Chains A and B, each alone.
Chain A
Amino acid sequence: MIEREQVLHVAKLARLRLSETEVEKMAGELSGILGHVDRIGELDLDGVAPTSHVVELENVLRPDEPRPSWPREVVLEQAPDPADGAFRVPSPRSEA
């Protein structure tokens, strides 16, 4: 069972604000899903190597040569609050 406190903790880690209703609902739904997932706890997986990627990967290298990048104004055009050639955000000061 996922408790309310755990939901709030995980929501904080994920930078998600959940309403009271969402917290209750999320606790029930996550419990149900994880209850199903818990069946993999019964498998004997000792000595099994984890798979993070299915393709054999090699590093792709290229010469370190300067190339043009996007003009600043093109990138800032998509920003919700551009100012002085930068991304403006609210002050970080009150974070505990």
Chain B
Amino acid sequence: MGDVLGLSAVEAHTAMSAGELSAEECRDAWIEAAAGDRLNAYLWRDGDSSAPGVGVERPSIAPVAVKDIFCTEGVPTTAASRILEGYRPAYTATAVRSLIEAGAPILGKTNMDEFAMGSSNENSAYGPVLNPWDRTRVPGGSSGGSAAAVAGGLAPWAIGTDTGGSIRQPASLCGIVGLKPTYGAISRYGMIAFASSLDQCGPLTRDVSDAALLLAILQGRDNCDSTSVGVAEAPRLPDRENLDGLRFGVPAGIGADGMESGVREVFDATLKRIEALGGEVAEVALPHAEHGISAYYVIAPAEASSNLARYDGVRYGMRAEAGGDVVEMYESTRAAGFGDEVKRRIMLGTYALSSGYYEAYYGRAQKVRTKIAADFSSAFEAVDFVVTPTSPTVAFELGEKTDDPLAMYMNDFFTVPMSLAGIPAISIPAGLAEPEGGGPRLPVGFQIAAPAFAEQRLLDAAYALEQGIGFDAKPGETDA
């Protein structure tokens, strides 16, 4: 068969079912494509001689790129941290197991921000991932390797994790689809923990149909993760053609906070597109959403400071010999093994949980979380979906925000509230816009959020809108 790499995963699946394409041929074509990675998107690839592959003897579906936060038996798993250098887990994450059981070969492990902490992929201990649209710019993060691999033609589809926007924001900056399912839809077993009450696995794909297929493979209850519940019914491929009778809520006052004018234009044009497709656009009140960043950057670091206590140089990963007692060994190992952002979050979280500050920070942040979830519940009484831009900006330049943590955190402004509320949200490419400082036009993502476990409704609406938008730009083809 001719252009294997030009097929989406669903199209490849159809071709395989019709006997026009063999799954082995599809896998081999993608292994070859992945070998040409010049974006630093992969940390390990099937075919790298140093490790045996993750076994699928008889593939039956397109191969998947897996964020390096998922444990894979016998294959290096680093979470892009020095502290896990050389770690080869003794077991495989349930999400990856689901892929293997579905007959999807593992194409490689993708680069990411260390322990999924970051919005630019610049926090990887193994160097930043480059954005395939413009290699002087970031792909977003933390699932930057997965997003860049799909956008850059190095993988047909990928999985990532989203704690505060880590699937949706890189999908937006790379011009692909990213879905964060409802908290609990997919097992977290074997997914290296960052903030356990927020972390969720999800698909990064070329289009909405591929996201639906991947979600169908991944979702489900897992006895190894007591918070996993799956989705009510197995998702089917979306086929909705219009948005008749659907109401889309735009948060009141949106755009007052640092949204680029180009992003605003694409967002407004997309709202008009929704109306042209028969949908209704209304304003909704989410008065506490603006405090999402504050609540998130207390809760997530607090949980992280606890989760990352396990990296102490005793059971796995690296150890820095200090020549002193065991506490000196812990401190030296963690000083040498963790990068700047991880240290910052551990410090922030430890401070927020420490005696005397617990109530003012962690306690209050948890209450803000309640208010944000309640805002969404009220909004969903009036509308079917809440929509925002996915990111306030298009892809920014490498190094542009590395000296200003707070400016970096503001990338998550539109994605964090849904994470705190635990609800599903998808980012689809909606158009191109020029960055604020000028330059070639870059992708802009449109975020649609739905009530918990309404994935099918969300995918159907996103599909109809995707068809209406007809986004077909590709990296390297835009006006330079």
Do A and B interact?
yes
Contact with A along B305-344 (1 / 0, CB 8 A): 1000100111111110010111111111011001000011
Instruction: Tell whether, in the assembled complex, residue A55 and residue B184 are in contact, meaning their CB atoms are under 8 Å apart.
Output: yes
- Asked if A68 lies at the interface with its beta carbon under 8 angstroms from chain B, I say no
Given the known interface contacts A6-B351, A36-B293, A57-B227, the answer about A78 and B197 at a Cβ–Cβ threshold of 8 Å is no
The listed residue with most A CB atoms (<10 A of its CB), out of B324, B338, B368, is B368
> How far, in Å, is A4 (CB) from chain B's closest CB?
13
Instruction: Tell whether, in the assembled complex, residue B347 and residue A30 are in contact, meaning their CB atoms are under 8 Å apart.
Output: yes
- Asked if B361 lies at the interface with its beta carbon under 8 angstroms from chain A, I say yes
Decide if the interface of chain B is mainly helix, strand, loop or mixed: helix
- Asked if B360 lies at the interface with its beta carbon under 8 angstroms from chain A, I say yes
The listed residue with most B CB atoms (<10 A of its CB), out of A18, A41, A43, A91, is A43
Instruction: Tell whether, in the assembled complex, residue B88 and residue A60 are in contact, meaning their CB atoms are under 8 Å apart.
Output: no
- Asked if B456 lies at the interface with its beta carbon under 8 angstroms from chain A, I say no
Q: Tell me which of B31-39, B294-302, B427-435 binds A.
A: B294-302
> How far, in Å, is A23 (CB) from chain B's closest CB?
10
Partner of B348, one of A30, A41, A77: A30
Instruction: Tell whether, in the assembled complex, residue A55 and residue B227 are in contact, meaning their CB atoms are under 8 Å apart.
Output: yes
- Asked if B378 lies at the interface with its beta carbon under 8 angstroms from chain A, I say no
> How far, in Å, is A72 (CB) from chain B's closest CB?
11
Given the known interface contacts A55-B183, A60-B226, the answer about A90 and B325 at a Cβ–Cβ threshold of 8 Å is yes
Interchain CA distance A36-B294 in the complex, whole Å? 7
- Asked if A1 lies at the interface with its beta carbon under 8 angstroms from chain B, I say no
Instruction: Tell whether, in the assembled complex, residue B421 and residue A54 are in contact, meaning their CB atoms are under 8 Å apart.
Output: yes
Contact with A along B81-94 (1 / 0, CB 8 A): 00000011110000
Contact with B along A7-35 (1 / 0, CB 8 A): 10011011111100010001001101110
Contacts of B288 in A (CB 8 A): 43
Contacts of B478 in A (CB 8 A): none
Can you name the residue of chain B whose Cβ is closest to the Cβ of A60? B226
Instruction: Tell whether, in the assembled complex, residue B347 and residue A90 are in contact, meaning their CB atoms are under 8 Å apart.
Output: no
Instruction: Tell whether, in the assembled complex, residue A13 and residue B354 are in contact, meaning their CB atoms are under 8 Å apart.
Output: yes
Given the known interface contacts A26-B344, A30-B347, A33-B297, the answer about A17 and B360 at a Cβ–Cβ threshold of 8 Å is no
Instruction: Write the residues of chain A forming the contact surface with B, with a CB cutoff of 8 angstroms.
Output: 2, 6-7, 10-11, 13-18, 22, 26, 29-30, 32-34, 36-37, 39-41, 43, 45, 48-55, 57, 59-60, 62, 70, 74-75, 77-81, 87, 89-95
